[in-house]
Structure 1
């Protein structure tokens, strides 16, 4: 017996095939070619807080994701040069590139010094950080010294420092252009902000992006699979393209964190499907 789902799938496939045949009949020279997006899909290391590096890389391999924002529980701040080299070799064996470090919380200038030193030794050009407001001028100084971008992470209505993208932009807009935003679209939505519009509004200062969805545009909103929340993901993908975002969209999966593989796989598949469809 043919299920409704298989009927719809077959009908859609037939419609596409018919359209292609029609195009071929009217113009044999027509070639369909998918344009590669400027942004990449990655995973934020915090998604794997309950897993060792080998386990995390195995999940990335199974879900076909190749960019990782590095967290210190996988590569400690005091790692030696030999340990950092071995870490990158392990990533390379799994087809993964570590593109950034963080989020790193800092309370003092010394903490900020250590964060930049760590990023330099790890060999990445981006730090995701949460500095105090009074330390932003010092962050501005350090990005000039190291030529490493610094993206400040927003954490929603509970965050008194940076609840949303607008709060970060207001503080960094007159700083060095290498000081910007790690845009957590889910926490931004939980602060009752329009994450699609804010992506377009602040795109020039967004260096990293935590890809997630939530169940409500309020403090009570919970993390969920990418296709099941209140953020319009197809509209978000369209805005990624319109704003010419060229960084990583790092899936930060915070539901079922002790058993995340199914949710990560669903979210990755949904995002890739949306990118193919819109």
Structure 2
């Protein structure tokens, strides 16, 4: 859902009440682009009023010290979102990881699996190397690991979905895996349902495999 940045604190609070009354849990927001020094705090105030415990962001590395300051002040987690070969700052998780390791623990990564594989990066290894700095995940699938336009229903492409979940389980990941379904704009629900069904099936298979090995 979309909550415009221009909403007042009262409007954001009202929207938050409506969302929560519908039984929807707000787990985060974004991707928010921080373009200059002057706009940093307004996005944190927006996120706080909307009840977002985490924001996924895109920014210039030079703004990270100021972003860190407000992450502490507002006690909001900040996850740097990698955006593939077109991203001049953070194409892959490995481009952001050296920065976040120097910052407060509330600053980490939002690994977008589709954009990650398009850089030629081993996404499972990147997840493992991120470790506790992995705060959020954007899940999708691609038929062609080099082509942004090849997105498909999760499970019908070439991204190693089960291996991703296996690694997340191995490392005790406690964040969210958010489906980012950017196709079938006129009728996305069928494909979204199939994607969720595939992911739940992958998780069930991993759980059954774990029980089998410990029986």
CA drift at 1:262: 1.2
Q: 1:270 aligns with which of 198, 202, 207?
A: 198
Secondary structure of residue in 2 paired with 1:204: helix
Q: Per-residue CA shift, 1:57-99, capped at 9, x if unaligned? A: xxxxxxxxxxxxxxxxx21112233322332233234321112
Q: Which residue of 2 aligns with 1:56?
A: none
What is the alpha-carbon distance in structure 1 between the residues aligned to residue 61 and residue 129 of structure 2?
22
Q: Per-residue CA shift, 1:143-165, capped at 9, x if unaligned? A: 22222111111111111111111
Question: Relative contact order: is structure 1 or structure 2 higher (C-alpha 8 Å, sep ≥ 6)?
Answer: 1
Count matched residues.
Answer: 206
Q: Which residue of 2 aligns with 1:215?
A: 143
Q: 1:91 aligns with which of 10, 16, 19?
A: 19
Q: Which residue of 1 aligns with 2:158?
A: 230
Answer yes or no: is 1:128 the counterpart of 2:79: no
Contact 1:189 1:214 survives alignment (8 Å): no
Q: CA RMSD in A?
A: 1.5
Q: Which residue of 1 aligns with 2:172?
A: 244
Q: Per-residue CA shift, 1:154-204, capped at 9, x if unaligned? A: 111111111111111022211111111111011101111111111111031
Q: 1:115 aligns with which of 37, 43, 46?
A: 43
Secondary structure of residue in 1 paired with 2:155: helix
What is the alpha-carbon distance in structure 2 between the residues aligned to residue 130 and residue 80 of structure 1?
23
What is the alpha-carbon distance in structure 2 between the residues aligned to residue 98 and residue 225 of structure 1?
24
What is the alpha-carbon distance in structure 1 between the residues aligned to residue 148 and residue 73 of structure 2?
41
Q: Which residue of 2 aligns with 1:176?
A: 104
Q: Which residue of 2 aligns with 1:143?
A: 71
Q: In structure 2, do the counterparts of structure 1 residues 262 and 268 end up closer, same or farther at CA, with 3 Å as the change threshold?
A: same
Answer yes or no: is 1:261 the counterpart of 2:186: no
User: Normalising to structure 2: TM-score of the pair?
Assistant: 0.90
User: Normalising to structure 1: TM-score of the pair?
Assistant: 0.70
Q: Which residue of 2 aligns with 1:27?
A: none
Q: Which residue of 1 aligns with 2:210?
A: none
What is the alpha-carbon distance in structure 1 between the residues aligned to residue 92 and residue 147 of structure 2?
12
Q: Which residue of 1 aligns with 2:117?
A: 189
Contact 2:9 2:46 survives alignment (8 Å): no
What is the alpha-carbon distance in structure 2 between the residues aligned to residue 222 and residue 159 of structure 1?
18
Secondary structure of residue in 2 paired with 1:103: strand
What is the alpha-carbon distance in structure 2 between the residues aligned to residue 234 and residue 86 of structure 1?
39
Answer yes or no: is 1:102 the counterpart of 2:44: no
Secondary structure of residue in 1 paired with 2:195: helix
Mapping of residues 22-171 of structure 1, within 5 Å: 45=1, 74-171=2-99
Gaps of 5+ in 1: 1-44, 46-73
What is the alpha-carbon distance in structure 1 between the residues aligned to residue 149 and residue 156 of structure 2?
12
Answer yes or no: is 1:198 the counterpart of 2:126: yes
Q: Per-residue CA shift, 1:7-50, capped at 9, x if unaligned? A: xxxxxxxxxxxxxxxxxxxxxxxxxxxxxxxxxxxxxx5xxxxx
